């Protein structure tokens, strides 16, 4: 089975099915996975400049899971995917991110100017309800949230600073309604 067949076979209904041969962005040329020795982790950095609104890469589901892993992307309430191109799995978290995953379009879009050599970063709670392992953020931004656990653990006024995936907005609404119902019943 070819990789394209595997991707299409495993791609969930929520992600649009861009044929792999129509790929217009070559992330292998535009970005590079590096080993960040300070953090002991691999990260994705830009090899060229990107402008706000520019397409960094389309993305596809290589496989899907009912539970998150350390490098999966949550695409709806119950589905987590293994990303293709696999370089996208190395996008780091930042509380002041420079890209966003557009789940409906299947695209990673730049939201700030990115210079060659900069880390590519996204705000994990934009798509992740609960991360597998909570971690201390070292992004250094003025608005750093310090501990990242997922959108479930953040107030909506903090989340509203960011572009959120639709499933995160739905889950947040349900969480709010549930907590009000519990308060009424007490
Ligand atoms: Zn931070």
Per-residue pLDDT tens over the stretch 74-86 = 999 999 999 999 9
Structural domain span for residue 157: 3-185
Q: How far does the chain reach from its first CA to its final CA, in angstroms? A: 56
53 CA from centroid of ligand 1 (Å): 22
Q: Cα–Cα distance between 144 and 94 in angstroms, integer?
A: 8
CATH number (domain holding residue 26): 2.170.270.10
In this prediction, residue 16 carries a pLDDT of 52
Per-residue DSSP letter, 120: P
The count of domains in the chain is 1
- pLDDT of 87 over the 90 cut: yes
94 CA from centroid of ligand 1 (Å): 5
178 CA from centroid of ligand 1 (Å): 29
Higher pLDDT, 181 or 108: 108
For residues 1 and 17, the answer to whether their CB atoms sit within 8 Å is: no
**What is the torsional sign of CA 101, 11, 16, 45?**
positive
């Amino acid at each position: 089975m070819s990789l394209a067949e595997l991707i299409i076979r495993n791609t969930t209904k929520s992600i649009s099915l861009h044929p792999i041969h129509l790929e217009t962005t070559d992330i292998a040329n535009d970005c590079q996975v590096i080993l960040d020795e300070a953090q002991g982790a691999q990260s994705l950095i830009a090899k060229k400049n990107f402008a706000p609104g520019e397409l960094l890469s389309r993305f596809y589901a290589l496989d899907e899971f009912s539970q998150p892993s350390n490098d999966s992307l949550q695409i709806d309430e119950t589905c987590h995917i293994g990303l293709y191109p696999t370089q996208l799995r190395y996008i780091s978290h930042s509380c002041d991110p420079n890209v966003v995953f557009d789940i409906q379009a299947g695209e990673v879009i730049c939201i700030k100017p990115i210079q060659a050599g900069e880390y590519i970063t996204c705000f994990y709670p934009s798509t992740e309800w609960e991360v597998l392992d909570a971690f201390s953020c070292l992004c250094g931004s003025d608005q750093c949230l310090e501990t990242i656990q997922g959108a479930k653990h953040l107030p909506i006024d903090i989340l509203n600073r960011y572009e959120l995936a639709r499933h995160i907005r739905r889950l947040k609404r349900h969480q709010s309604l549930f907590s009000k119902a519990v308060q009424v019943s007490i």
